[in-house]
Amino acid sequence: MAVPIAVLDCDLLLYGRGHRTLDRFKLEDVTDEYLESTYGFPRQFIYYLVDLLGASLSRPTQRSRAISPETQILAALGFYTSGSFQTRMGDAIGISQASMSRCVANVTEALVERASQFIHFPEDEATVQSLKDDFYALAGMPGVLGVVGCTHVAIRAPNAEDLSYVNRKGLHSLNCLMVCDARGVLLSAETHWPGSLPDCTVLQQATLTSQFETELHKDGWLLGDSSFFLRTWLMTPLHIPETPAEYRYNMAHSATHNVIERMFRTIRSRFRCLDGSKGTLQYSPEKSSHIILACCVLHNIALEHGLDVWSSPATGHMEQPEEEYEQMESIDSEACRIRQELLLTHFS
C-alpha cells in the first residue's frame, strides 16, 4: 500500500541527508578559477550580488531547508552563463534541477526589481557632457547621447495559434530594444517586444520614444541605423550619400553606432542562455523577457566592477533577423533640418 508523503523536498529525496548540502557549499571552499569557469564571474562580484540581493532572496519559507541567497545566486549565474539546467550544474552546489529552476526565477525577479537602479540615462549635466565626449572621441560624431539598436532572442513558442512572436526567419523570438553608451553600458533596455514587430515599429511604440519626445535631453540625440526613421532626437545614416560631407557623416555614424553591435555580441558571449547555442529560452514570453533584462542588469554591474573586456562574437544559432530596409527617410522637416545642419557644421 502506498504511503502518503505530506511534504516533498526534492533535494533531500535526490541526494539524501549525507549529501554535500546546499547550505554547506561555501565560496571560500573553491578557487577563483573554478568560480569563473563554472559561474562566469569572480569571487568579489558574487559577494557583491549576495549583498545586493540577499534580502530579497531570504524571504520566509515553509520549507525546512530554505536555499541560501549565496546558493541561489550561484545557481542563477550558472544558468545565465551556460544556458543549461544540466545536472552537473546542480551537482556542483548540491541542488536538483527543479531547485535550479526556482533559484533562477527568484534571482531573475530580484534583478528585474533593481533594473532602474542600474539601467538609466544620466541626468546631471557633467555626466551628460562626459557621455557626449566619449562618443565624440570614437569617430568625431558630436552630440551623441547613446546608440540604439534591436536584437532578437529566441524563445519557446507560446502556443500554436500565437504568431505574434514569429520573426522574419520563421523563429519565435523577442525583439529587444536597447541603448548603450560608448563603453557598452546599457542606458535603456526594453526586452518584451514580440519578434514579429519590425525595429521601427518597436521604437515607435517604445517607452524610449515617449521619454525623448517629452522628457529627456533636447541638446543631443541618439544614433540609429537605417531600420529607424530619422527624428529630431534620432540621427540615422543617409541612404544615398552624394557629397564628401555626407560620406564623412555616414562613416562617423557607422563607426559610432558599431558600439551597440559589439555590446550585443558581448552580452550573448557572456550570457549563453541568450545566444541560442543551448536552444531557445524555455519560458513564457514574460518570463523570457525578465531573464533577458536580468542579464542586462548583470552586464551593467559587471562593467561597473571593471569587467569590461569586449568579447569576441558569440557562436550561437540565434542572430538578429536581417531586415529588408526600405527607404525610411523622415517626413519630419525639423529632423531633416537638424541633420543637414549637423552635416554643414561638423562634416563639410
Question: Quick one: 99 and 145 in the same domain?
Answer: no
Q: Do 123 and 108 share a domain, yes or no?
A: no
> How does DSSP classify residue 2?
P
pLDDT of 27 over the 70 cut: yes
Same domain, 109 and 122: no
| Residue range 312-331: mean pLDDT, rounded | 50
Query: Is position 201 within any domain?
Result: yes
Q: What is the pLDDT of residue 218?
A: 67
Whether 8 is in a domain gets the answer no
Residue 94 lies in a domain: yes
One domain for residues 46 and 86: yes
Lowest mean pLDDT of 58-62, 197-201, 219-223, 276-280, name the range: 58-62
Q: What is the pLDDT of residue 263?
A: 96
**pTM for the whole thing?**
0.87
Residues 107 and 129 in one domain: no
What is the domain range of residue 78? 32-57+67-113
Considering the domain architecture, whether residues 125 and 145 belong to the same structural domain is answered as yes
Per-residue pLDDT tens digits for 210-227: 999 887 566 899 999 999
**Is 132 found in the same domain as 98?**
no
Q: Is residue 83 part of a domain?
A: yes
How much of the chain exceeds pLDDT 70, in percent? 80
pLDDT above 90 covers what percent of the chain?
Answer: 64
Q: For 245-249, what is the mean pLDDT?
A: 96
- Among the listed ranges 145-149, 284-288, 306-310, which one has the minimum average pLDDT value? 306-310
pLDDT in tens, 280-291: 898 999 999 999
- Which phi and psi (to 5°) does residue 147 adopt? -115, 140
* Three cell numbers, residue 4: 502518503
Q: Would you state the pLDDT for residue 82?
A: 87
For the segment 202-209, the average pLDDT, to the nearest whole number, is 96
Q: Is residue 154 situated within a structural domain? A: yes
The residue among 9 and 290 whose pLDDT is bigger is 290
Do residues 104 and 124 share a domain? Answer: no
> CB 304: neighbour CB atoms within 10 A?
13
170 located within any domain: yes
DSSP assignment of 233-277 equals TEE---SS--SHHHHHHHHHHHHHHHHHHHHHHHHHHH-GGGSST
Residue 76, in any domain of the structure: yes
Residue at 17 is within a domain: no
Average confidence score pLDDT of the chain: 84
Query: What's the domain count of the chain?
Result: 2
Same domain, 123 and 109: no
* CA angle in degrees (0–180, nearest 5) for 89-94-99: 75
What are the backbone angles phi and psi of residue 316, rounded to the nearest 5°? -70, 170
Are 139 and 264 in the same domain? yes
